[in-house]
Amino acid sequence: MHYASQWRCDIARRIAPIIARNPAISAIMVSGSTSRDRADSFSDIEIGVFWSRPPRDEERMAPIEPAGGTFWELDPYDPEDEVWMEEWGLNELKIDMRNMTVESLEYQLQAVLVEHDTTPFRQYTLSAVQHGIPLYGHEIIQGWQERLVAYPVGLQEAMVRRYIAGDLREWCWWIDQLLSRGDTPLVYQSFNEAIFSIISILMGLNKIYHPGYKWLKYSLAEMPIQPENLGERIQQAYLLAPHQGFATIQSLVLESYDLAAQALPQRKRFEQAPSH
């Protein structure tokens, strides 16, 4: 582990026993760029705390002062993502706390691994768990990680279906319209949407729990199945003139469709879009 990640991990290890003083806490891990050894000068420390029951606000606040921290923000419960979040500072470094019940994490494992749920936040959560470094309740976290080793074929198919569902012909027509009108910001917004769909399709094909779109260069490096020179071509699409960028992304979409058809032969070959 390189220096920027290591010292952040050391801080997380130091404050984890303070957080774990509450007997309702079952497990703690450090995640994000620290656990993946990608931290840089901009990185915070993401800590996941798993509770045997829903935490109270005062319990979430309790470790801050004993750890030498300064309170920044306390977010209310998010019922959609089933998470409580707070932020506090430690010598101007942000500590990003994410609280979830053990029951909720078990439910999300069931939803993704058995029911093949492609909901982005659930994918992000399980990716964080898979790459997390246990700090407390090691057996619980390691048990979850063992269940995440085998990526289900059904989830692979569901990811491809979800992100390949858009009508490429309609997308091409939309880009033509935006280009002819000079609506450049919307052109690049559409570029983003297409690229995010490509990456999500490739996550499924490569059997990777979706970690989100940050640190894209690292995600691409983990994918044996991808269009040739994908990272470079994505960068070029934003540096070229809009018409040329459009042609580049269109090619990437079609190549990703072909890769999906090759990897999942039970699916019919995906329809080609008209050339621009």
Q: So what's the pLDDT on residue 273?
A: 44
* pLDDT exceeds cutoff 50 at 274: no
Looking at every residue in the chain, the average pLDDT score rounds to 91
Work out the angle between the directed axes of helices 120-131 and 102-113 (0-180°, nearest 10).
Answer: 110
**In the predicted structure, residue 169 carries a pLDDT above the cut 80:** no
Cβ burial of 164 (10 Å; 0-12, 13-18, 19+) is buried
pLDDT of 52 reads 98
In sequence order, which residues have a C-beta less than 8 Å from that of residue 226 and are 6 or more positions away? 202, 206, 220, 256, 259
Percent of the chain with pLDDT over 70: 94
Of 177, 173, 176, 163, give the one whose Cα is nearest residue 253. 163
Which of the pair, 194 or 26, is modelled with greater confidence? 26
Q: How many residues does the chain have?
A: 276
Give 22-82 as a DSSP string: STTEEEEEEEHHHHTT---TT--EEEEEEESSPPPHHHHHTTTTTTT-EEEEEPPPBTTTT
Whole-model pTM: value is 0.89
The confidence score (pLDDT) of residue 146 equals: 98
More confident residue, 214 or 13: 13
Quote the pLDDT of residue 171. Answer: 81
